[in-house]
Structure 1
Amino acid sequence: MSNSISTTSDAGFDADVLKSSTPVIVDFWATWCAPCKAMVPHLEKIQDELTGQVKIVKLNVEDNQATPTQYKVLKLPTLLKFKDGQLVDTMVGNPGPRKLREFISKGL
């Protein structure tokens, strides 16, 4: 994983995501999810290109179940976009690099 992509947890979600001054993309994933793993290099590249404009954090749903339940995450991978502490957009599945970049950069 890139040094630019951090992880969060149920306990850290409020501080890492909801109180962030930068828009945050939360990548809900699991170790057994092949599409989740396939998306990582694209997320790393986008994070490196958009440093300072957006923060991408990963949340492992196997170890943290309260947050995915709260936001009704039913399929993996799921990306949630937060801005000013509010959920503003959702993407389910691995759409490929171009659509992933469009989703993340839209509205920054």
Structure 2
Amino acid sequence: MLIYKIFRAPEWATLQSDGETAGAPIDVTDGFVHFSTAAQTAETLEKHFAGEDGLILLAVETDDLGDALEWEESRGGQLFPHLYRKLRMSDVAWHTPIALEGGKHILPGDMK
């Protein structure tokens, strides 16, 4: 199953240059890398990234994360995937810019 991470351009650049990252500032503060499922990603964008341009969507295969991935209750009682180790560039299955049109983010249509 694919899960998704949203990065701002500097966060994405750090992952690319360093090969791994502890994540965005909120991830570092919380002690894990926050992810969303396909069904949760639009709400995550709206809640935490409203109107921001220059965002990158990363897809990561859960099977590749092993025991470092935990599903924990969060927003509205939903289970969210949390990674308890650094995210590695080798974990990224694919990535794409998130379009912003008329103040709304447009996610890829093939998210599963």
- Quick check: TM above 0.5? no
Q: If each structure's strand is expressed as a fraction of its own residues, which one has the higher value?
A: 2
Higher Rg of the two aligned structures: 2
Give the TM-score taking structure 1 as reference length.
0.31
